[in-house]
Structure 1
Amino acid sequence: MRILWIGFSAALVLAGCYPRTGGGNGALEACPSVIQIQGFSFHPASCFVALGGSLSFENHDAAPHTATADGGAFDTGTLNQGQTSTPITFNQAGIYTYFCRIHPGMRGEIEVR
């Protein structure tokens, strides 16, 4: 019984580590033209953009950050406080997961439809 409880507790802890997509109804929100980086998080952390659409990242934290695609599709380079990346255009449908190279716990996801 003790092993089952430990396993269940670990599953609950791990479930909180992954980003959630969309609102309560499961639908993703449209990405704004600029994704904000603030409080060591991407806002919104998950969103969608139309095929051929573009967006930028803007850092509001005092610490430097990046937005770097897991597969290498894009990398903003280091953005210092107040800096905005050049626009990133998405010409291939799919899901792009990304993170901050400086703070790897910061993660986000963009779905291109």
Structure 2
Amino acid sequence: MSSTRLRAKTIILGRNFYNIAGLITNVLINYQLTSTAWNWGATAAFFWLGMCFLCLGWSYFRLPEPKDRSYSELDVLFGLKVPARHFKHTRVDPFQASQGSVIESKANGAEVV
């Protein structure tokens, strides 16, 4: 997820990464399932299970929650480098953000002014 200023560049990078990952995945699956290559068979699922857990961990720590946020609030949160896990609980006043005021309610219990 990106700020509004970087949205187009992020979409381009994401699509390119998706295409490259698709190519790598298709090559790996052929090696894993072919009996003349690695011959992993059904145990290849454990490899992909590990990859799913890695992606789940990344998304928990790095993917912010934009629910009920306006674009201006998201820009303020990105600009003040609020951690992704704290997006949901951070209260933002976008009109006061030029002075750098953000009040975090449940993230760490402190007020940043």
TM-score normalised by structure 2 residue count:
0.29
Quick check: which has more Rg, 1 or 2?
A: 2
* TM-score of the two chains, using structure 1 as the length reference: 0.29
Q: Please state which structure has a larger fraction of its residues in helix.
A: 2
